[in-house]
Amino acid sequence: MKYVAMIYGNQAKWDSFPAEAWPEAIAKQERFNKKYQETGELLGAYGLADAANARLVRRKDGAPAVTDGPYLEAKEYIASFYLLDCESQERAQQIAADMPFADVEPVELWPVLHESAADV
- Note the pLDDT tens digit of each residue in 55-106: 889 999 999 999 987 766 667 788 899 999 999 999 999 999 999 989 888 9
Question: Per-residue pLDDT averaged across 39-49, rounded?
Answer: 94
pTM of the complete model:
0.84
Average pLDDT across the chain, whole number: 90
pLDDT over threshold 70, residue 120? no
Nearest to 4 by CA among 87, 114, 108, 78: 108
Nearest to 43 by CA among 53, 33, 56: 33
Contact, 7 vs 45, CB < 8 A?
Answer: no
Burial category of 95 from C-beta neighbours within 10 Å (exposed 0-12, middle 13-18, buried 19 and up): buried
Domain at 2-111: CATH code: 3.30.70.1060
Write down the pLDDT at residue 64. 95
Write down the pLDDT at residue 101. 86
Write down the pLDDT at residue 54. 86
Write down the pLDDT at residue 73. 64
Write down the pLDDT at residue 69. 75
User: What backbone torsions phi and psi does residue 36 show, to the nearest 5 degrees?
Assistant: -90, -20
Pairwise pLDDT comparison (9 vs 7), residue with the higher score: 7
Write down the pLDDT at residue 117. 76
Nearest to 57 by CA among 75, 44, 70, 72: 70
Question: Per-residue pLDDT averaged across 42-63, rounded?
Answer: 91
